[in-house]
Structure 1
Amino acid sequence: MTQEILDQRAAAVIEANKYLTLGTVDAAGLPWVTPVYFTPDGHDAFYWASSPQAAHSRNLAARPDVSIAIFDSSVPIGGGSAVYFRAYAAEVPADELEQSAALFAARYPELRSYGAAELSGTADLRLYRAQPTEAWLMVRGSDPDYGTGVDSRRPVWPHD
């Protein structure tokens, strides 16, 4: 399997899905995962809006290293594709908020858009961004072209 094919498959998984699973760690070192709907900026950044009081928001404010899985849970067993990330996550800085909020809203025209004022100060929501540091594509063991009989995880975008 060429790196280009791996990268293309991973990009297709990201574009085909609206939710990512975000993994954070609390102060006691206990893991916490939560689904959030997201907007990708290619494969370099993922944006979502959450309450700063949510467990995952509090966790990443103190410990910004996170993990992410993007996958379609509605496919039959054995038919899934997934992309995994290690990332650094934080609230979007004020000087980037207007542009990032517009990018986030563009993926979901059916939803209400939030401006910078609604994502800062005393507002109920904040805009967050995860920036991946490592990424992998799950290749199914039964993949008709590249399967080996056992699911494997292959690095993607290592050349970036």
Structure 2
Amino acid sequence: MDEQALGARCAEILSTCLYANIATCHDSQPWNTPATAVPDASLDIYWSSWTEAVHSKNIRANPLAFLTYYDSTRARGTNNQRCLYLRCEAAVVVDTKEAEAAHTLLYPGADIRLDDFFDSGLRRFYRARPLQAWLNCLSEQQVQPDTIDMRREVPLQAIRAAR
């Protein structure tokens, strides 16, 4: 598969999988959280969470995050080129305009007060900005003695172009 086709496959995953696993870490304690996480046109990924959730605290302490998107309903061994891995830098959304954009992505048509996501509000919008992306290229059943990696790196620009 060429870069354009890989980017298209990644874009397809992002448009069909609503949930991501968001892995964070603080003080050598890993944490993984499933969340509704939606990308914008530039590939920034947004979700909303309680400010005191473990992953929210972790992001405040350590901005590095790792997100995965995949279809968990597929039969075992048929997920080849169907799992997207993203190494990201995450942050709390503090800009009102960015919060409005996150709201539109996550709660289309819903009447939610943005004030609830700032200051004394109990929730925040979060953004993960991808730094690197990979697509799985083998299932565990396809691994051979000469296998070096089960993932193939995909240029972020190829994913953006396909979206």
**Does the pair score TM above 0.5?**
yes
- TM-score scaled by length of structure 2: 0.83
Residue type matched to 1:23 in 2? A
Residue equivalent to 1:44 = 43
Is the helix fraction higher in 1 or 2? 2
* Count of aligned positions: 150
Asked if residue 2 in structure 1 is aligned to residue 17 in structure 2, the reply is no
SS at match of 2:85: strand
Aligned residue in 2 for 1:11: 11
Specify the alignment match of 2:101 in structure 1.
Answer: 99
5+ residue gaps, structure 1, are: 143-148
After superposition, give the CA deviation of every residue in 1:2-30 in whole Å (9 maximum; x if it has no partner): 1111110111111111110000002x211
Pair 1:71-2:101 in alignment: no
Of 96, 116, 119, which residue of structure 1 is paired with 2:117? 119
Percent of aligned positions that are identical:
30
Runs of 4 or more consecutive aligned structure 1 residues displaced over 4 Å after TM superposition: none
Q: Is the 8 A contact 1:87 1:130 kept in 2?
A: yes
Shift of 1:158: 4.7
Aligned with 2:106: secondary structure? helix
* Residues 82-138 of structure 1: per-residue CA shift (max 9 Å, x gap): 0001100011123322233223223xx5xx453321211211211001000000111
Aligned CA-pair RMSD: 2.1
Whether the 8 Å contact between 1:101 and 1:115 is mirrored in structure 2 is: no
- Distance (Å, rounded) in 2 between the aligned partners of 1:152 and 1:15: 23
Residue 42 of structure 1 and its aligned partner are, at CA, apart by 3.7
Q: Conserved in 2, the CA contact under 8 Å of 1:21 and 1:70?
A: yes
Output the CA distance in 1 between the equivalents of 2:132 and 2:103.
25
Match of 1:122, SS?
coil
Higher relative contact order (CA 8 A, sep 6+): 2
